[in-house]
Amino acid sequence: MACLAAFAALCPAVALAVPAPAGALIESQAVVSYFNTELGIYESVSTNVVVTRVNSVKAIEVVSDQTVFMAPASVGQFAFFIRNTGNAPLSPSATLEQVAGHHAISSISAPS
């Protein structure tokens, strides 16, 4: 077990890419170079430039790392994290509603 913990300490953290912002322009062009044996020279051929505009994508991720068991009429806390995983600004809100029975239903929404 100690060996596994020591190995995990040596592994680098996972890098997460940040999505391109909405409306950003991405330009791409390919260039191929080769040796033309008939002419005895190096040649290059370019493609046309392609321009792409990044669309706006709204996305959220909700992460919780616990389960809470409570008696009726008791007070408790439940921690969770809301993260914007899209490329558009959001102001998410969370609500928790008690329904008939033993379970509660939660909803996460992001206003348009």
Q: Which structural domain, as residue segments, surrounds residue 99?
A: 60-109
Q: Mapped to the 3 state alphabet, what secondary structure does 26-78 carry?
A: EEECCEEEEEECCCCEEEEEECCCEEEECCCCCCEEEEECCCCCCCCCCCCCC
Question: pLDDT tens, 17-35?
Answer: 777 889 999 999 999 999 9
Residue 45 lies in a domain: yes
Q: What is the count of structural domains for the chain?
A: 2
- Judge whether 37 lies within some domain: yes
Residue 3 lies in a domain: no
Residue 10 lies in a domain: no
Residue 14 has pLDDT above 60, yes or no: no
- 5 band by pLDDT with thresholds 50, 70 and 90: very low
Among 52-56, 84-88, 94-98, 104-108, the range with the most confident prediction by mean pLDDT is 52-56
Same domain for 79 and 47, yes or no, is: no
Structure confidence at residue 3 as a pLDDT band (50, 70, 90): very low
